[in-house]
Structure 1
């Protein structure tokens, strides 16, 4: 997923390209300086200092070289009755460790560079390693667990063996180089050496890795036949309405049917027929365009599309992969018009149109094609989550576009759900049935707590007559879903990240991570006024730095109308507002968060089926002077269980900008608790569980971010040495990694 906003750590890929003038609702809240709470000192700070040298920690536990394990219940006493959220909340922490509650153990099982074949050498972690096509990639992100039967097929009751399928979003980099994976920190100027580019391209993509538990201890299986990597040289089919369209014709695929690789993969999903879905997020920054490219294209409508997706003429690429050599695998990253063909079959002017989709993969069968499901639209995808399947009704898939002021989407399948399709069979063909044909909608949130799903169809008069871009056909609408959302007046949101469906109510939850571009009185097209669904604009102080907009983010939830998956209307409220516990309760801390619950920048989000707990993971830059990123456990109610809140902002002319927003029931100690805090510089992301809910897999992404590339040879200057300080692996360079959390009494996680 995205690095945190525009706040402390700047992600140059989280760019704001929505300059549409979509109507904003009257709004919110006087901008007010938010002072840091005095509760941040004292015991919590002392505890963090004591844990500083430990790599994995259970509060109150003892330690060894591998993990810190919390004490078991007293011998001879029966275990207490299970209670959801029965654990003791962990304190905020700045330690370079993973902190979990007393009674839990966290163990590292799979990290950047770990070999996936018997013939791949052990990872040295000194920058000299190669063959990343057969190693764990970098920046472990979204993840799903698929239980394995004895015949390596799907299982529903196996709890000690399965495959983890995960995204490898990006690399920790400075300037151009992914410096931790190169011996001397890599080349910081152009051109980049081919060997460095090859390594970095292989670090992106997907992993499939078998994991097993023996005597209660989990590990990955190095030589499993199930293991595989998907990277930038892997052929992937384009499937659905965009397949074969002129917009995806390239030198590599003159028929517009395929592309190499999947890029910047963030959130995930799992289909009812047991396949893996991966969202391509901030892919545009990997491509470059010549300064003269607008002219070379004749300033045609492709220029409008490129700019809406963040590639102005002269835009530099993130890593300079296009400079690795003259081979096709390098030249594809330059999307300038170089050839003379009319259709783009002699260059890569259309290459970027093949990125930005939901990717479907059968984790059990390496022989099956991997497909980009273009009917679900093209944007900065996070996760893709299905509404509750109902026999005889279409399936709904919910998605968010993770950039400032972007939109929330829903796809509704043409085919109606048949429960028999959940049974073992040709899973990719089942995906063809449900994901290649349907209707794509975008959300408009109204000021009264209702909303509409607006169809993005070439037949929609607002799209057909849109002055900002001339759509040619439905494939054009899907490739340029952002422009179609502009055309119909969708609501600009505060960076829609992950989404998940409540297993009981069927309501859909979306994390809105933050937005530095909210203003009471917007200046320029990149800023947006607050509205009912994105109501806060305030100033939060991080030390002496003022952070404006909505620095802490919120979680919004949606209840479909009576028609369910095909409903054209919905109701909504805000489940939780991220905030410091000491912030103004009337203007900022609208959910009444305490020191055991306060958080900032919600990102990862998932309900675990075994317990129905809602897990919220953070990717923060606003609150990191007080605590590392974290994961919370919640027991939500339902849309409408809270109250309407009226907020107002003073304008420069003396008038007030007012809005009503809708806030869910205030959190209590029984309904929301902090469960985990990660190491320094890390994002907490990815969540999956075994069917019995007794093992929970979590990803720790980019620990040590903020280390200067110049310090790559000096471990004492790394901001993190995790997970080596947890006793895992060679070297001291920080590594993204997967951990597994278990309960010492053998119970379910979160009880």
Structure 2
């Protein structure tokens, strides 16, 4: 039993027995009457005490003022790649607001929890509605919503084509900014002094080299030196330095006394070749390179290398420097490039043959040593007897008599030396002509020459689409007249996790050291075959009378000879390759071919004509303006051994005959000549996504320069087979012929001139940040025909205004950005 006498009572009981309404009842009554207008606790309180707390306001006015209301703005239409701003409004009673996507392709909303949100319109193949909902919420959770629709249409080239011009600066469309980033001679460490640009500078092993060319961007984490493939604010640029403009490199040009070059000049010239790896960052107002970065590196013709793949250790790679044929020194005449999916940089050795000296009588020495077939090889690669070698480096007498950095460029066999080549440098030419893989994130790593990809005038190497479980392909051109297009198919199917492998060069070993090298044959009916270059297949045997191959290493070292024997199609200087990330189709620039006579035309190289000039120079003949061929693998797989093809576009002046020369119907907004650099926007941003990603086309021209400096165009190409056939009637002083070719749909407004460079330059090398908002482009050899007493360009000093007439031109990397912060090109 409980005694209630001592229980506590605080008086909190209901003793009011009147009929007056209870506060809770009143609140409930008032609240429910305005169910559609309620505004949370504030509305509830003023509904009960409004006459006391807010004199002069009647009940309906208060309820209206404390109701949450929102609007989401009018619907709009935009195109893929554009930045879209959503503007919502909410009454003051809203404690929180926010945007959310209701339907359509998923986008990432920036500032979604504010009135003003934004997003990048996604890639679409047709007009597509996206619905967004704006919500306002009161303090007690009451909400109001409103929807708006943004209709997105396919991407367009949203800029006015840059007019052709011969100005001494880089011209881009209105709304874009050019920043000069990394110039020839710029120091890459804290101890190297600023570049004087008067020919007196040295130490090019710690400066930017000359003639910037192929290039790739590799993302870095915001802090530290770790890889971040998604970073668009900090990264490494790896870029090639193809050659030199020797007239500007020294105070008064090259010195030759009694046929001998000074050692210091030759060292400078050698070190100005090769590759740069340099850190770049985006600041508050512009991009810049980081001079003192620990990741900066120069790779020159003197940098130690190793050989990997089937030719490693082959007798043809043995030299005095590497008697077992496993090592080498340096890379030279690096033209195009490739970015490997696992985060490495691949550089291509192009016109390396011209650097070698070969004295008369060398062929007899090789024959006497039992190596007569080396004469066949050297001739096929352009190293005949009687060559002095570019820049006369072998004439130097070094201060260090034990040094062989100049001697190695003399490929002449010494009569009394070891016949296997280990006592001289007769085999040094076989150490060049390869794809070289570099880890840009590790300055201490040793570059690897990938022999499985063959030896040629490599223009570049472009990976095909990487699909898990499928063997990847890597596409390459051999840049010389009447050479071939190749692809290498790895023996190892792609594993997606390898994109983030820690040991990047070991991953390269996995995919690039074993596989099949193929060469392309183009048929007149629009079909084609990939012909395998495999030892003991077809004519590639030890019994071949033209060239008796010893093994697969011999086939790869002499893949030009192998391609001749299997019947590949000679092309008009195959240069850069690029792969459409949407469908896997491969494009290849065919720059031009002065030896393409009417009698030698075919379906894939159908033009031979005389190009009229307006600058007084003699007219040239052949395929003067070049074209871009593209192919689609059967089954859309990189493992295919057959393909279909057509010509995406033929280079030509807009005023030339449209029946036989200007076959693509180019006009003043998009005519071009001598296509060279080629690159698709990255699939990490809208410009590289969807059914029609943006392709960039650069020129290296001498035929159209009476009309315009070299240029870069943007394109949204179609697909193989979207055009038809055309019959071309060729006529030159060498004769006449008829050829039927396959031409893609006329580009029209889907091809536009985006950039024109300064005087006498080549536009070459292109990459971007992953977000597509910064485009890096290289300007090579401006003013190349001049010298100290006849400076023919002052770029890049002219880019931001007038320059002193004495300012020497410099190759340089530029960055192009939109002034509104959007994607470049669309």
Shorter chain as denominator, the TM-score bin is 0.7 to 0.9
How far residue 424 of structure 1 moved from its aligned partner, in angstroms, is 3.4
Contact map agreement 1:209 1:226 (CA 8 A) in 2: yes
Cα deviation for residue 652 of structure 1 reads 9.7
1:369-411 per-residue CA deviation (whole Å, 9 max, x = no partner) reads 2100000000000110111011111110000000000000010
The answer to whether the 8 Å contact 1:385/1:397 transfers is yes
What is the CA–CA distance in structure 2 between the aligned matches of 1:636 and 1:141, rounded to whole Å? 24
2:271 & 2:200 partners in 1: Cα distance? 15
Matching of residue 675 in structure 1 with residue 751 in structure 2: no
| Residue correspondence of structure 1 range 192-211 to structure 2 within 5 A | 192-211=261-280
1:213 to 263, 282, 301: 282
The structural deviation recorded for 1:462 is 1.6
Report the count of equivalent residues: 655
* 2:600 corresponds to 1:540: no
Match of 1:468 in 2: 546
Distance in structure 2 (CA, Å) of the matches to 1:605 and 1:685:
9
Q: Does 1:734 align with 2:813?
A: no
2:210 to 138, 146, 163: 138
Alignment map for 1:29-68 (pairs within 5 Å) = none
Distance in structure 1 (CA, Å) of the matches to 2:413 and 2:732: 47
- CA shift, 1:466, in A, is 3.3
Q: Deviations over 1:132-168 (max 9, x none)?
A: 1000000000000011012322213321111100000
Residue of structure 2 in register with 1:94 after alignment = 166
Matches within 5 A, 1:285-684: 285-298=354-367, 300-325=372-397, 327-338=403-414, 339-464=416-541, 465-521=543-599, 529-543=600-614, 544=616, 545-562=618-635, 564-609=637-682, 610=685, 611=687, 612-649=693-730, 657-669=737-749, 671-684=750-763
Partner of residue 238, structure 2: 165
Which moves more between the two structures, 322-331 or 397-406?
A: 322-331
Deviations 1:496-541 (A, max 9, x none): 00010001111000000000001123xxxxxxx0000000011001
Tell me what 2:101 maps to. none
Q: Residue 601 and residue 439 in structure 1: after superposition, are their counterparts in 2 closer, same or farther (change >3 A)?
A: same
Q: Tell me the CA shift for residue 651 of structure 1.
A: 9.9
Does the 8 Å contact 1:288/1:316 carry over to 2? yes
**2: CA distance, partners of 1:341 / 1:653:** 48
Q: What residue number does 2:335 align with? A: 266
SS of residue paired to 1:542: coil
Distance in 1 (alpha carbons) for counterparts of 2:660 and 2:481: 22
Give the drift of 1:342: 2.0
1:647: how far off?
2.3
Distance in structure 2 (CA, Å) of the matches to 1:426 and 1:276: 14
Q: Report the secondary structure of 1:209's partner residue.
A: strand
**Structure 2 CA distance for aligned equivalents of residues 652 and 687 of structure 1:** 39
- What CA distance in whole angstroms lies between the structure 2 residues aligned with 1:512 and 1:560? 19
Asked if 1 retains the 8 angstrom alpha-carbon contact of 2:347 and 2:436, the reply is: yes
| Larger RCO: 1 or 2 (CA < 8 Å, sep 6+) | 1
Q: Please say if 1:185 is aligned against 2:253.
A: yes
Match among 773, 777, 791 for residue 698 of structure 1: 777
Any idea what SS the aligned residue of 2:510 has?
A: helix
Distance 2:180 2:768 in 1: 15
Q: Distance in 2 between matches of 1:214 and 1:390?
A: 36
For the Cα contact (< 8 Å) 1:539–1:548, is it kept in 2?
Answer: yes
SS in structure 1 opposite 2:406?
Answer: helix
Report Cα offsets for 1:332-379 as digits up to 9, x if no partner: 000000152121000000001000000101100122221000000000
CA shift for structure 1 position 727: 5.2
Q: Contact 2:538–2:566 at 8 Å: present in 1 too?
A: no
Structure 1: how far apart are the matches of 2:319 and 2:549?
Answer: 20
Kindly indicate whether residue 823 of structure 2 is the aligned counterpart of residue 748 of structure 1.
yes
C-alpha separation in 2, matches of 1:622 and 1:652: 18
Q: What is aligned with 1:26?
A: none
Distance 1:386 1:316 in 2: 37
SS in 2 for 1:666: coil
What SS does the aligned partner of 2:486 have? strand
Name the SS for the 1:462 alignment partner. Answer: coil
| TM alignment of 1:122-137, pairs within 5 A | 122-137=194-209
Cα deviation digits, residues 660-692 of structure 1 (max 9, x gap): 2100000112x0100000000000011010111
Partner of 2:191: 119
Identify the residue that residue 768 of structure 2 maps to in structure 1.
689
C-alpha displacement at 1:188, in angstroms?
4.4
Question: What secondary structure is seen at the aligned counterpart in 1 of 2:705?
Answer: coil
Gaps of 5+ in 2: 1-115, 122-151, 688-692
Distance 2:593 2:694 in 1: 27
Q: 1:216: Cα distance to partner? A: 3.3
Q: How many Å apart are 1:706 and its aligned residue?
A: 1.2
Instruction: Give the whole-Å Cα distance in 2 for the aligned partners of 1:125 and 1:639.
Output: 48
TM-score in terms of structure 2 length: 0.77
Distance 1:253 1:243 in 2: 11
Q: Is 1:511–1:605's contact at 8 Å kept on the other side of the alignment?
A: yes
What is the CA–CA distance in structure 2 between the aligned matches of 1:386 and 1:362, rounded to whole Å? 16
Assess if the C-alpha contact under 8 Å between 1:651 and 1:657 holds in 2: no
In structure 1, C-alpha distance between the alignment counterparts of 2:570 and 2:373, rounded to whole Å: 23
Deviations for 1:208-243, whole angstroms, at most 9, x for unmatched residues? 011111113111111001100001211011111111
In structure 2, the residue matched to 1:719 is 792
Q: Distance in 1 between matches of 2:645 and 2:567?
A: 18
CA contact (8 A) 1:369 1:428 kept: no
Structure 1 distance, partners of 2:546, 2:468, is: 41
- Shift of the alpha carbon at 1:187? 1.3
